[in-house]
Amino acid sequence: MSVLPEHAVKAWISGFGIGVPRGATAPDPASVEASADGLAPPLAVKAYGPGLLHKSDAGAVRLGLGSAREAADAAAAMLTALAAAGIVPDGFLVEEQAAAGVEVIVGAVRDPAFGPVLLVGLGGVWTEVLRDTALRLCPVTEDDARAMLDELRGRALLDGFRGGPAADLDALVEVLLAVGGPGGVVESLADRFTEFELNPVICGPSGAVAVDARLIGPDEAPPRPAPPAEAADFGPLFAPRGVAVVGASTKKPNFGNMFLGFYKAAGFAGRLVAVHPSAPDIDGVPCVPSLADAGPGIDYALVAVPAERCAGVVREASGIPFVQVMSGGFREMGHPELEEDLIAAARASGVRLLGPNCMGVYAPASGQTFLGGTPGRPGRIAVVSQSGGLAGEIVKVGEQRGLAFSKVATVGNSADVTPAELLRHLASDPGTSAIGLYLEDPRDGRGLFEALRGIRTPVVALVGGRSGQGRRAAASHTGGMIGDDRVWTALARQTGITLVTSQDDLIGALDLLDLHGARTVPGTPEVLVIGPSGGASVLAADVFDGAGLDLAALPAPAREALRALGLGAGSSLANPLEIPVGPRANPDLVRHAVAAILSERPFADVITHVNAQSFFTFGDSADPLLAYARAVGDLQNEQPGTRITLVVRNGECAPPGVTGAVRAIARAAGVPTYRTMESAAVAVAAGKRSVDGAA
């Protein structure tokens, strides 16, 4: 690891327009006085050299010196103290001490997955005490820089706190852009740094000055990952003309046999062959002795043999566009050499590799599948997942709730085909309206960032391991400020994707985006919540507020219109709005109430909720609840410029099949249905962020 001296870093960054104090260097204390001649007190003296990465901790900084002579004396005392600690400095830096102001840290670190990440926060000792920082992936825009400052809890200090002068925010933004913007410090360094830090940058009413600067680089630049082979068309991956399955047995059923059965059950209409050295057929599927003998029309090969045999199989796959390796036992199990051999085999045979350690692809329209049973109806929702099991759950649970999928790809270790590549393909697919991601290690994080910035299709991401894997600090404070969770949050803020924390929320958000994504609605954060029970409404207010959604007050004309409908007696006409909903209530009241409100104030989102328990505590038939669902569907048809969402609370109190029937009625009208206010709030927030960008 190489560390440049502070004065050399400052001289370099001044060329990017970053302000630094006037100063000079001296090889020893006796030379400090002459070096300081012409500098205006108060002065600061610092020692530099090996062992002085953290100068303040080592006692290698003296401030507030009134003259060049005092600076020399301070350097002499510093030298003695450092020698006692076994530290021999290379020299001393004497500078004009910057005027007082707010101390800010500006830094950049190379994240292992996403590359350069910019950080800003309260600096000096506050960096460690408060850890009040904001992150963005580089390069940043001016909007990014200003949003980062807005996120700081200590922002009030920059604005002038308790009569103090406000800092020059424009100057601080210029520093952020000089470090992390296009053509800035980070871009100029490329791979030649591990960590860059300005701490502190002193921000005052007349500008921003970097009074300390640190640049840490590896002894040599890390190797760039080999670029993946080009794939002109991912179409054959999702709609292959033919499929070859390697690994099925004539004696003991295994994963290969299971997949042959899946394709037969799915009604795959293309050519299906098994690879076996001697058998004429397996389970009624004709065999070929090797992939090299598969013949024309095979676009996809599924390999389910032990890990050590996979590379050999892939070397026989020349002419087949895509090979999926289901087998595990590679990098994820501590055998990177087997994965490297597999990649080399794919390169040699000219195929694109999906996996290893993945389940494959699901595309109902073509019969491509990794799931048993009859495929669901083709739809417009796509998913890319690093977990095959989780992808199967998303598909099966989603289809049970009425969702329909266009293309689902599992990528496992992503040794060749990456989530970023598939994301770009799916975003250009006219048959896909929303994309879900489940990722743990994106492999090409920088490519993922760039892909997300360049697409308009709504994306919802569930990220595994966000709290369990902090990034190790590189060498100083900045590295310790950056971790997996915060990088993903920065990615979401820069690209507009929605991050969720559970599989259920991922499915729910995709449901809303699919049904409501094409609606043209007011781009505002306000929502209207309407339903029974004051207590439930109060809790709903808390939930939606926590999701960043605003329950705006109802205007006076709307309240008058509601009174004309007989509402308001015994309850307040507020948002959330309490209305009678139950087995003896008028199911159309919700339609009339919402129409009265929307005629006076537009709401992009209306969440109507119902308590299923009350329908069967005070009634004995499902008909009133189903009638209410039809009324909600009619409301959506009458209000196409509003997103209507239905919440069926306490659905377990309904007889079997009733909530499913409610969901089906609502979905036929384009209304997504949720079981809790919490899940609805996540989905509605996803719609606002991904579709109209209001939240």
Same domain (yes/no): 349, 493: yes
Strand, helix or coil for residue 40: coil
The model's confidence at residue 257, banded by pLDDT at 50, 70 and 90, is very high
Same domain (yes/no): 275, 325: yes
Mean pLDDT of 310-320: 96
pLDDT computed for residue 441 by the predictor: 84
- Tens of pLDDT, residues 180-202: 999 999 999 988 888 899 999 99
**Edge-to-edge, what's the strand order for the sheet holding 434-439?**
361-362, 405-410, 378-385, 434-439, 459-463, 498-500
Same domain (yes/no): 63, 149: no
- Above 80 in pLDDT, residue 571? no
**Could you tell me the CATH number of the domain that includes residue 599?**
3.40.50.261
**Least confident segment among 162-166, 507-511, 656-660, 662-666:** 162-166
By percentage, how much of the chain surpasses pLDDT 70? Answer: 93
- Above 80 in pLDDT, residue 98? yes
Whole-angstrom distance, CA of residue 45 vs CA of residue 63: 7
pLDDT computed for residue 231 by the predictor: 43
Choose between 41 and 692: higher pLDDT.
41
- Tens of pLDDT, residues 590-621: 999 999 999 999 999 999 999 999 999 887 88
Give the amino acid at 571: S
Mean pLDDT of 266-285: 95
Which residues touch 156 (CB under 8 Å, ≥6 apart)?
none
Q: What is the DSSP string of 502-564?
A: SHHHHHHHHHHHHHHTT------SBEEEEES-HHHHHHHHHHHHHTT-B-PPPPHHHHHHHHH
List the domain range (segments joined by +) for residue 481: 235-513
Mean pLDDT of 73-99: 93
Q: Does residue 7 lie in a domain region?
A: no
What's the structural domain count of the chain?
A: 4
By percentage, how much of the chain surpasses pLDDT 90? Answer: 75
Same domain (yes/no): 552, 657: yes
Helices and strands in the chain, H and E counts: 25, 29
pLDDT computed for residue 130 by the predictor: 67
Same domain (yes/no): 342, 469: yes
Intra-chain end-to-end CA distance of the chain, in Å: 43
Same domain (yes/no): 275, 385: yes
Q: Does residue 488 lie in a domain region?
A: yes
- Above 60 in pLDDT, residue 222? no
Q: Does residue 4 lie in a domain region?
A: no
pLDDT computed for residue 517 by the predictor: 87
The model's confidence at residue 128, banded by pLDDT at 50, 70 and 90, is low
Question: Is the CB of residue 490 less than 8 Å from the CB of residue 136?
Answer: yes
The model's confidence at residue 224, banded by pLDDT at 50, 70 and 90, is very low
Same domain (yes/no): 506, 526: no
pLDDT computed for residue 1 by the predictor: 54
Residue 121 belongs to what H/E stretch?
A: strand 115-122
Q: Does residue 505 lie in a domain region?
A: yes
Same domain (yes/no): 488, 524: no
Distances (CA, A) of 73 to 56, 66, 170, 466, 626: 18, 11, 39, 51, 87
Same domain (yes/no): 127, 89: no
Whole-angstrom distance, CA of residue 561 vs CA of residue 612: 28
Whole-angstrom distance, CA of residue 405 vs CA of residue 264: 20
- Tens of pLDDT, residues 459-495: 999 998 765 443 343 333 344 545 557 899 999 999 9
Same domain (yes/no): 435, 501: yes
Mean pLDDT of 572-592: 90
pLDDT computed for residue 482 by the predictor: 52
Strand, helix or coil for residue 477: helix
pLDDT computed for residue 471 by the predictor: 39
Mean pLDDT of 146-169: 90
**Could you tell me the CATH number of the domain that includes residue 142?**
3.30.470.20
Q: Please name the residue that has the structure tokens 């520093």.
A: 175
Among 493, 513, 533, which residue terminates a domain?
A: 513
Strand, helix or coil for residue 302: strand
pLDDT computed for residue 226 by the predictor: 47
Among 472, 495, 513, which residue terminates a domain?
A: 513
**Could you tell me the CATH number of the domain that includes residue 59?**
3.30.1490.20
Same domain (yes/no): 321, 397: yes
pLDDT computed for residue 225 by the predictor: 45
Query: Strands, E, within 205-317: which ranges?
Result: 207-210, 213-217, 242-246, 271-275, 281-282, 285-288, 300-303
pLDDT computed for residue 539 by the predictor: 87
Distances (CA, A) of 176 to 105, 166, 183: 10, 18, 12
**Could you tell me the CATH number of the domain that includes residue 240?**
3.40.50.720
pLDDT computed for residue 540 by the predictor: 85
Q: Does residue 188 lie in a domain region?
A: yes
Mean pLDDT of 439-458: 90
- Tens of pLDDT, residues 5-39: 899 999 999 999 999 999 999 999 999 999 999 89
Q: How many other C-beta atoms can be found within 10 angstroms of the C-beta atom of residue 216? A: 20
- Above 70 in pLDDT, residue 127? no
Q: Does residue 225 lie in a domain region?
A: no
- Nearest CA to 59 out of 33, 85, 36 is that of 85
Q: What is the 3-state secondary structure (H, E, C) of 54-111?
A: CCCCCCCEEEEECCHHHHHHHHHHHHHHHHHCCCCCCEEEEEECCCCCEEEEEEEEEE
pLDDT computed for residue 205 by the predictor: 94
pLDDT computed for residue 522 by the predictor: 78
Task: Enumerate the β-bridge partners of residue 500.
Answer: 462
Q: Does residue 230 lie in a domain region?
A: no
Strand, helix or coil for residue 203: strand
- Above 80 in pLDDT, residue 568? no
Q: Does residue 17 lie in a domain region?
A: no
Among 469, 498, 513, which residue terminates a domain?
A: 513
pLDDT computed for residue 654 by the predictor: 94
What pTM was estimated for this model as a whole?
Answer: 0.88
Could you give the angle at the alpha carbon of 599 between the alpha carbons of 597 and 601, nearest 5°? Answer: 65
Mean pLDDT of 247-260: 94
Choose between 54 and 497: higher pLDDT.
497
